Structure 1
Amino acid sequence: MAAYANIFWWSNDGIRLHARDYSGDAGRLPLICLPGLTRNARDFAALAEAMAGRRRVIAVDFRGRGESGYARDAMSYVPLTYVQDVLALLADQGIARFVAVGTSLGGIVTMLLTGAARERIAGAVLNDIGPDLEATGVARIRGYVGRGSSCPTWLHAARTLAEAQADIYPHWGLAEWLAMAKRLYRVTSAGRIVLDYDLKIAEPFRVPGAESGPDMWQALGGLRDVPVLLVRGERSDLLGAATAARMLEALPGGALVTVPGVGHAPLLTEPEALVGIERLLARVDGA
């Protein structure tokens, strides 16, 4: 596993936030990796390993996840607040330009960042996310987010995930499910294995009208002048093929990679995804 340092910084509302910082060539723009709704910085450990020190990788724990602090106000668990937290990270680290890698929620945050930091984004990877979301996937996410899960052993946690997500990663074996469990769960002081996020992140979903928000097609348009890689799981229930095609039409510098046999969301370590990311970075470096 690639070595990393821990970065801590403060949000505008006083939350101590965390990211993993994998060192790399200071002459190349860093990757800022933003995870999905219930995921954390550990999701990008294998991608950082694939970069092998060639490029700095900063993997963020959004507030309420991993080693970042939990919010006093659960209604701050929304994309526009995460955008402010990322901007605070950029200021803390003195990062002028970067390549964004956003999985699911992290991709929404990436698109919204163009409102305040368009000139700073040199390229982007949008992993299984778009301006329009499929109703089936949204319903599935609503069905599990915020529901506590406690397991006595890692094996139990792996089996719990396998039962719930077999349709997403149908070809996985026990080793892959154990690795996923160790990304998603943590061990409490009492020795129980629990989900590694604040269950209150689900509360904004319960507010009437929560579906309304910024115009995400307009936000996507903020990326039209930079290289963008769209990664879509072939079995995705959140990013439809028609939406991905429309995104490509809106992005002159866009490219699409479809990861076969995977749902929402690819891990970005699949061969197809890695090749696409390397091509994107070559374009960024060339520009």
Structure 2
Amino acid sequence: MAPSDAPAFRDIFFTSEDGLRLHARDYPVATPSDIGGRLPVICLPGLSRNARDFHQLAVLLANHPENPRRVIAVDYRGRGLSQYDPNPANYNVMVECKDVIALCDLLGLKQCLFIGTSRGGLILHILAALRPDLIAATVLNDIGPAIEAEGLMEIRDYLGRRSTFSSFEQAAEGLAALHSRAFPALAGTDWLDMAHALYIERDGTLVADYDPALNDQLQAIDFSKPLPSLWPQFEILAEKPMLIIRGAHSKLFSAQTLQAMAQDRAKVTTRTAPRQGHAPLVHLENIFPSLAVFLSEF
């Protein structure tokens, strides 16, 4: 959260089934009577990302002039304010999906709208198989049941660098230098917001806010073999209304996969985020209206 942004959330801490202390942000609507029975939104971030990624989006949704709704953004284990797992093998979509279920059960949420960015969308494929009753509709942000090796290798190499910075401004400049070709839609303030979401200060230095052991799994992938896919789980997920967003410059999520996901499925809507790569910032003006219209149906 950037310093200019006033806190609009409360922190939730809960315990996983294996005893870890996990965290989420809860963004309530300003006037509860305005919620009108609208379902809450649960936001699931990418592999190394955290709940801060969704701050701007959550504020927009919680304060929407026509359809305000509660938003909950999750820190997976080993990210943000959630406890690191002493067993890195537990950094997998099945375990993380069960953590999301534990959060829903704690809050007494029977059915929700879900926004899954990258890793978050993979978790939603598993959730559809384990607890389809929790899902009213989904937004998949630059992710599908099949991912491209080129994009995953880029993420592996990027996380492997473990860059550090002396200030958030320097971090923003570093992010822009590395990613601006794929994200010409982003302005200077967007890069600064991203820096505040990705990094945290420890001992006077800004470091990425996740357990470094996360990258061990990526380093272990044998890219000479086909990557596994989740098409059977997607078939279950696609039984509910779905909005799929693809970054026009994404290397992880191909236009061909997007087309296959939407083909002959009446409940699937697709949008392309222009001038963005993996994964699009969906609170930006060129994509947020489509997202807001989709969510307004629930």
TM-score range, shorter chain: over 0.9
Determine the structure 1 residue equivalent to 2:193: 179
Contact 1:63 1:69 in 2 (8 A): yes
Q: How far apart in 2 are the matches of 1:138 and 1:160?
A: 20
How much does 1:147 deviate? 3.3
Q: Structure 1: give runs of 5+ residues left out of the alignment.
A: none
Determine the structure 2 residue equivalent to 1:15: 20
What amino acid is aligned across from residue 193 of structure 1 in structure 2? L
Determine the structure 2 residue equivalent to 1:261: 275
Q: Does the residue aligned with 1:101 lie in a helix, a strand or coil?
A: strand
Q: How far apart in 1 are the matches of 2:76 and 2:23?
A: 8
1:43 and 2:59 correspond: no
1:81-139 deviations in Å (ceiling 9; x for gaps): 11011011111111100011000000111111011111220000000001111222111
Q: Does the residue aligned with 2:184 lie in a helix, a strand or coil?
A: coil
Q: How far apart in 2 are the matches of 1:111 and 1:77?
A: 16
Determine the structure 1 residue equivalent to 2:176: 162
Q: How far apart in 1 are the matches of 2:249 and 2:54?
A: 21
1:5-56 deviations in Å (ceiling 9; x for gaps): 1111111221100000001327211101000112110111111111134101
Aligned length: 283
Determine the structure 2 residue equivalent to 1:198: 211
Determine the structure 1 residue equivalent to 2:82: 68
Q: How far apart in 1 are the matches of 2:167 and 2:53?
A: 21
Percent identity over paired residues: 39
1:237 and 2:247 correspond: no
Which runs of structure 2 are paired with 1:1-287 in the superposition (5 Å)?
Answer: 1=5, 3-24=8-29, 25=35, 27-53=37-63, 54-188=68-202, 190-207=203-220, 215-249=229-263, 251-283=265-297, 285=298
Contact 2:156 2:219 in 1 (8 A): no
| Residue 171 to residue 224, structure 1, CA distance change in 2 (3 Å) | closer
Contact 1:26 1:56 in 2 (8 A): no
Q: How far apart in 1 are the matches of 2:264 and 2:48?
A: 29
Q: How far apart in 1 are the matches of 2:92 and 2:74?
A: 15
TM-score (norm 1): 0.93
Q: How far apart in 2 are the matches of 1:215 and 1:173?
A: 35
What amino acid is aligned across from residue 40 of structure 1 in structure 2? N
How much does 1:250 deviate? 6.0
Moved over 6 A (4+): 210-214
CA-atom RMSD, angstroms?
Answer: 1.9
Q: Does the residue aligned with 1:150 lie in a helix, a strand or coil?
A: coil
Q: Structure 2: give runs of 5+ residues left out of the alignment.
A: 30-34
